[in-house]
Structure 1
Amino acid sequence: MHEGVAIVTGGGTGIGRATVLRFAEAGAQVVFSYSRSEREAEDTVAESERRGLRVRAVRADVRDAHAVDAMVHAAVREHGRIDWLVNNAAVSPPVPGGSASDLEAIPDDVWDTVLAVNVRGAFHAARATAPYLRASRGAIVNIGSIAGLTGEGSSLPYAVSKAALHGLTKSLARALAPEVRVSCVVPGFVMTRWWAGREDVAERVRKRSLLGEPTTPEDVAQLVYNLATQRAVTSQFVVIDGGQTA
């Protein structure tokens, strides 16, 4: 059991939701943010209550530094400390045409949104929690993507944003050492709601992986928890993709 306080951004769905529940099951008190997924956030809280766990949802768009600061300060007022931050909030808006080779089809507003959420949002959360993580000698775990390694993903801006998040991981690990450990979980194909309507593509990806089975949000959440609570690991990237990039 690891009693403490965890903040998870984008905790209402998918990997974020599984991570919220994993930390709570281990004895942590969890505060998680959501932006648009209010119903899903309420469902996550309801599920935690059914299990007798301690979870609270806060609406906070990670693009807004003031909203992130307010969420962190509220968590500290309530719980007195922060031990872990999981930067999970991310977006991948559709690009007109859908082809990564069509550079003219990628509008500036898609770049602005993806980088603001996936990269600057993670920095906002790290900056807001850093004083408390230093005090607790805690950890940050960023949720990257194999798209940031391969350059191939749901869109070109998404892949670039995840590569930038990987770079942010390295930089934060140096900036916050030795008190705070910072590492990154790098998922491949994970069976989440994002694949709804794309089941044929998901099946092709699954067949190409060595293990032949989809990675679940719970698989990723377990790895996030392990990295967050491992005292001797920082500035590391752990791929979890079933052998998709082997």
Structure 2
Amino acid sequence: MYRSLQIRSKSVSNLKNKVALVTGGGRGIGAAIARRLASEGAIVAITYGQSQAKADALVAEIERAGGKALAVRADNRDAKALETAVQTVVERHGHIDILVNNAGIYEAAAITDVTADDFDRTVDVNVKAVVLATSAAAKHMPEGGRIISIGSNLAQRVPFPGISLYALSKSALVGFTKAVARDLGPKSITVNIVHPGSTNTDMNPQDGAHADPQRGLMAIPRFNDASEVASLVAWLAGPEGRGVTGAEFTIDGGTNA
């Protein structure tokens, strides 16, 4: 159970009145990030694909705690929908201070079984959507903005077979992050990537059938809580992260050590 947001607490106002957009923010790590940014005073917008009930519930939770939130339906394979989502936030709040590229998919298959459709689907959601959302949001981002993408520790090390497409897609975000940091550095906009390892969500529960093999790779044998990933994102989004750009941050219990 998540703790209450306590948005009005004077101890958590690092992001007061900052406008944040979190793609895929209706569940899992994305929802934890939205909660954390809201708890630090940000006005939060989230996109969702199918989970409208979860997205609406999260918005209601944030608003009950005294925050401001908005949910926008956007299929990450639909370029126009992504642009519309960004425009919706800008029309309501004037700009975007923080973009968190969180939405993504994971599909496992041996390379001999990968199809062109598999490739297109994975790259469209995990790479193309990040590029398009970043491009659209950066046009409306003031000096000192923040762009943070959620990658994966599997971009750095692949300990199991069947992950070729996913690893490819998340590895692509590393180069993109470093390049965009150069593009946007003159406006003091930072661009970074966070690589979570195994994280306890409904998609990869810590008590699931595949959990023990994952724990066997870790130096600290426990799954991340999604709130821990969110804390790292919030630090990068806040004032103390203003000098960090083009960087990778791995939070995986030492899996890649």
> Fold match, TM over 0.5?
yes
SS in 1 for 2:103: coil
Corresponding residue for residue 7 of structure 1: 21
The equivalent position to 2:227 in structure 1, one of 195, 211, 218, is 218
Please give the per-residue CA displacement for 1:108-151, whole angstroms capped at 9, x wherever unaligned. Answer: 11110000000000011100011222x23201001010111113
The equivalent position to 1:123 in structure 2, one of 112, 131, 145, is 131
Amino acid at match of 2:227: E
**1:68 shift after superposition:** 1.5
The equivalent position to 1:182 in structure 2, one of 170, 181, 191, is 191
Count of aligned residue pairs for this structure pair: 239
- Answer yes or no: is 1:28 the counterpart of 2:42: yes
Preserved CA contact (<8 Å) 1:5 1:81: yes
Corresponding residue for residue 40 of structure 1: 54
Amino acid at match of 1:238: F
> What RMSD, in angstroms, separates the aligned Cα atoms of the two structures?
1.7
**1:196 shift after superposition:** 4.9
Please give the per-residue CA displacement for 1:62-118, whole angstroms capped at 9, x wherever unaligned. Answer: 2222211211111111111211000001011353xxxx3xx2211111110000000
Corresponding residue for residue 241 of structure 1: 252
- Answer yes or no: is 1:165 the counterpart of 2:173: yes
**Please, what TM-score do these two structures have when normalized by structure 2?**
0.88
- Answer yes or no: is 1:56 the counterpart of 2:70: yes
Preserved CA contact (<8 Å) 2:144 2:242: no
Q: Distance in 1 between matches of 2:88 and 2:244?
A: 29
Please give the per-residue CA displacement for 1:144-201, whole angstroms capped at 9, x wherever unaligned. Answer: 1011111356621111100011111111111211211100001111111112597232
Preserved CA contact (<8 Å) 2:205 2:211: no
Q: Distance in 1 between matches of 2:75 and 2:33?
A: 19
Consecutive unaligned residues in structure 2, runs of 5 or more: 1-12
Corresponding residue for residue 117 of structure 2: 109
**Please, what TM-score do these two structures have when normalized by structure 1?**
0.91
Consecutive unaligned residues in structure 1, runs of 5 or more: none
